[in-house]
Chain A
């Protein structure tokens, strides 16, 4: 039997050897772990062809992905994000190499200016012609020679309201500041969109770089905070359909869906003017499958696929092949999705305002949220 003292002596003797062994075992784990890590770092590109697609939440018909996988044999890793800022951060992190990203005008403006995206060989897209000229023109706001992006959906920002819960008809951003509707107002939970109601009602551009104007707008928003029920993004649609609130700032496409769920709801682009937006696809520089990305883009522009996607997403589509298919009556029936040109005339498109301004906007927004 081994006494305690013996054990101690034994341990001292073996101390060095044991530690060497211990380190050896540890190194083994380390090697296995790093092996694992490199293995998962390199796999994927070689085995099966795949593309990594990054898009807004609920912004594609999942069957379209399946059909693409079936038709081309390219598998699609599909990821979603909540706001353009979240997308940019994740993309810049570089942990994931996206092959295709769908995002909004000002963020694309930034990515194109920072040369983060690749030129798209438009000639190789058989169905790019389906996208109407008006929308290519609209795209030039951020993509001056239409060579980096392909339009996906577009729309405006306005107020969705429930006449049942209101005793007036909103037509101005100022209506979102009415004290008698405290806790009945939903605002957007993203930096640029949230400033639109304040900036436009003060008569300023939504792309203002004047810090004084921004401060003024922030002051307005701070005053409003107490009246606001919540700051949301994707939930706005359901909450309005469920009559949780009387008024909400919302994208026209989402408003169309909400109106589908609850027929009482109405949508208005306030008279002070608003934001017209365009969501387009770009191919990031560090994507690993350019060919696959092109195929996917072309696939999305194809009439049957674009139709399917339009029916699912139900935002305003720039695809004329799809628009021609829909009968005029239906269009007249839904002015939110098939918006008139007049409404758009009173609107501006967001632009990228440079790093400093961007940070300033964000800081203003953070102050609003933190206080």
Chain B
């Protein structure tokens, strides 16, 4: 009897994923655990302990945590407000938040450069208003600002999607039973938003930890992150693909471990709903 679910259909996908995600990662691990002469060594994995690599690594972790927290704090109220603006305008408002994502992120970062430069737009406005200049460009704060800006929609949309699914009747019922705004937020909205928050955090934290383009565009070579270190190991500096692989592997393992812990705490697998 013919059935719909034919495993055969998943074959090409399975092969693709094995060939182009598993095999490269095996290759990466192989490079990480071998020296230039092909013999087994742990030195390349241990390079992460050298402060030259360790410091940027810690800096990246700290920065991505900070970026994630800022994004979360900014996004939650925004998602709540967007939920309230329900009705027909709904899809339009969501689109307004997606629209900037369709502009190349490097162009948007370039715009931030214009704003933040020492005699850029922001400082021109500040001096015109009689305030002193702020020195943001080429500091870690400029990089954080750029990264938050770039990843904000990735936090807003999943939370919004989770909040929209909350039935208005549930809230009305709570109100009828005498619950105040605060109680509703605490007992209904926040618990029900968790899946969105979970995928939001994942979607912001993972890419921001390995960020290196924004750092080189807004950091002026003074903000050195693990992404820059890895990029340098492969593309500039004196090529050391083995050390680069070791660093990449460390980064990957860190992300995987934190994701496993994170999902354990979370219990249920969060539904990643960006759209």
Task: Please give the residue numbers on chain A whose beta carbons come within 8 Å of chain B beta carbons, in ascending order.
Answer: 2, 6-7, 10, 18-19, 21-30, 33, 82-83, 85-86, 88-90, 92-93, 183, 189, 191, 225, 228-232, 242-245, 358-359, 362-363, 366-367, 369-371
Contact = CB atoms under 8 A, between A and B. Distances in A.
B237 A26 contact: no
B234 to A, nearest CB: 7
Given A18-B7, A21-B8, A189-B221, A370 B236 contact: no
Contacts of B96: none
Given A18-B6, A29-B12, A244-B118, A232 B1 contact: no
Nearest to A88: B239
Interface in B3-48: 3, 6-8, 10-12, 14-16, 19
B60 to A, nearest CB: 11
A30 B15 contact: yes
A183 B16 CA distance: 50
Contacts of B234: 89
Main secondary structure, interface of A, reads helix
Main secondary structure, interface of B, reads helix
B237 A370 contact: no
Contacts of B91: none
Interface size class of B (residues with CB under 8 A): 35 or more
Given A6-B1, A27-B15, A18 B52 contact: no
Contact of A359 (B53, B232, B238): B238
B7 A231 contact: no
B113 to A, nearest CB: 10
Contacts of A244: 117-119
Contacts of B228: 369
A26 B6 contact: no
Given A29-B15, A362-B238, A2 B1 contact: yes
29 contacts: A2-B1, A2-B3, A6-B1, A7-B1, A25-B8, A25-B11, A26-B14, A29-B11, A29-B12, A30-B19, A83-B236, A88-B238, A89-B235, A89-B239, A92-B239, A183-B118, A189-B221, A225-B222, A230-B138, A230-B221, A230-B222, A231-B220, A232-B220, A358-B238, A359-B238, A363-B52, A366-B229, A370-B52, A371-B51
